[in-house]
């Protein structure tokens, strides 16, 4: 079968600890494989928020603990990160997190109507080498995909710690008419992941982009 998207975000095992591997035994209880599953799950919640590339799950698990009236859908390609998040879900008995394993674009491409109130993308893989820039997630095609998945007046929040990726994202925003820039976001600066803390310690600025769907 021909892959519709450039396969930059295929499932990866990563370096898995024994505890993460043990946690992965619980994945089937929380895994989402279709849009219809999300539609079914969301009935009991006020909002549905998608976090793309949740890493080790620090951000999404914190949000889920603080906002149990919201349903959080997290996507990740690294099984180690999924295993880590499953540990948090079990530890805090969180019933408002579901997980998409692998490339979220495949699921979004199947959407027939808007589904998410917010979409959050914190420091996506920057693919820093020039020859790999084509593998970056944030581009016009991706914006089209995200735009159709967000409810009217819904929000998209993106951050990156790579200067030239920030410039590329700005160009994409300027070229796309379906979002407007807003003054800040509830996802901006309230909590820094370990990855973001390390970036700041190494002297890299975090560039936030807060957007609202307008058409």
Half-sphere exposure of 135 (CA within 13 A, CB side): 14
The predicted-structure confidence for 116-128, as pLDDT tens digits, reads as follows 999 999 999 886 7
Plot region of 37 (φ>0 → left; ψ -120 to 50 → alpha; else → beta): alpha
Query: Are the C-beta atoms of 52 and 121 separated by less than 8 Å?
Result: yes
Half-sphere exposure of 161 (CA within 13 A, CB side): 17
Domain map (residue ranges) of the chain = 30-213
DSSP letter, residue 132: G
Half-sphere exposure of 198 (CA within 13 A, CB side): 4
Of 103, 110, 125, 161, which residue is the catalytic one? 125
The pLDDT assigned to 12 comes to: 59
Question: Could you give the CA distance from residue 85 to residue 127 in angstroms, rounded to a whole number?
Answer: 24
Beta strands in 56-168 (DSSP E): 70-76, 97-101, 116-122, 150-160
Residue 141: active-site member: no
Q: At 159, phi and psi to the nearest 5?
A: -140, 155
Which residue, among 14, 174, 154, has the nearest Cα to 82 in the 3D structure?
Answer: 14
DSSP letter, residue 78: B
The predicted-structure confidence for 86-130, as pLDDT tens digits, reads as follows 999 999 999 999 999 999 999 999 999 999 999 999 999 886 787
The predicted-structure confidence for 52-79, as pLDDT tens digits, reads as follows 999 999 999 999 999 999 999 999 999 9
Task: Burial-class residue 13 by CB neighbours within 10 Å (0-12, 13-18, 19+).
Answer: exposed
Give me the mean pLDDT over the 192-200 stretch. 82
Give me the CATH topology for the region 30-213. Rossmann fold (3.40.50)
């Amino acid at each position: 079968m021909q892959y519709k998207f450039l396969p930059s975000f295929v499932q990866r095992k990563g370096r898995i600890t024994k505890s993460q591997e043990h946690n992965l035994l619980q994945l089937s209880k929380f895994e989402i494989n279709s849009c219809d599953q999300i539609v079914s799950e969301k009935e009991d919640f006020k909002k549905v928020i998608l976090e793309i590339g949740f890493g080790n799950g620090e951000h999404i698990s914190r949000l889920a603990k603080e906002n149990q009236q919201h349903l959080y859908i997290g996507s990740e390609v690294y099984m180690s990160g999924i295993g880590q998040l499953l540990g948090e879900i079990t530890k805090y008995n969180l019933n408002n997190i579901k997980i998409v394993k692998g490339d979220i674009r495949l699921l979004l491409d199947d959407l027939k109507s808007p589904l998410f109130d917010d979409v959050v993308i914190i420091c996506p893989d920057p693919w820093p080498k020039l020859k790999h820039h084509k593998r970056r997630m944030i581009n016009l095609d991706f914006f089209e995909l995200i735009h159709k998945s967000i409810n009217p007046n819904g929000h998209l929040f993106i951050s990156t710690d790579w200067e030239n990726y920030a410039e590329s994202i700005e160009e994409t925003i300027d070229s796309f008419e379906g979002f407007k820039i807003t003054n800040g976001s509830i996802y901006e600066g309230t909590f820094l992941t370990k990855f973001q803390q390390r970036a700041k310690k190494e002297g890299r600025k975090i560039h936030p982009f807060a957007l609202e769907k307008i058409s």
